[in-house]
Amino acid sequence: MSIELHCPKCSKLIRAPDTAGGKRGKCPYCKESVYIPLPPDESDEIGIAPIDDAEKRRKQELRRESIGYIADVGHARDTPPEGAGVPASRSDAAPPATPGEVVDIGKEVGVFLSAMRDSKLTEADQAVARLKQAGARAKDHVEGLLLDEMPPGVKGLPPPLVKAFLKTLSERVS
């Protein structure tokens, strides 16, 4: 058996005997001094299991379901009794939520990301204030989005920038 390597100068394939492993030799083509690595020891090789795409997709789906479940459970827990005077809707640029008002975490995260994209820092601050009222649920939701390989899509923002905005949001909601 022989050791195969490429010359670092001329890139030609060189075959050296196993006994030359760990020593220096000359390239037969360009005469450059070349280090000949030790032959691979077959007992050192560790087999790697192939990546199962179906398993990877299943884990991503479970993560998304978990995030949705956490948001739903928290939403149900924070929902005031019927007739408690919760406003039916508000615009994206509304001031921070009043005590007892239901905070739609997913919507507020979207408002924050859009406001940051458009450099509307006042709207972003208002979204942060509303998310702070949701407390740990909001932080858990944002951290769950950060774990996701595919962050939520925001028109006009590349995924790395979305991740950076989510990191900022996570720090501010704490």
Q: What is the pLDDT of residues 92-144, one digit of tens each?
A: 445 555 555 677 888 888 899 888 888 899 999 999 998 888 888 888 888 88
Residue that has been written with the tokens 């050791």 in this structure:
3
158 pLDDT band, cuts 50/70/90, is confident
Report pLDDT for 145: 82
Cα dist from 86 to 89, 91, 102, 106, whole Å: 9, 14, 7, 18
80 contacts: CB under 8 Å, gap ≥ 6: 86, 100, 102
What confidence tens digit (pLDDT) does each residue in 57-84 have? 888 888 877 777 766 665 555 455 444 4
Read off the pTM.
0.45
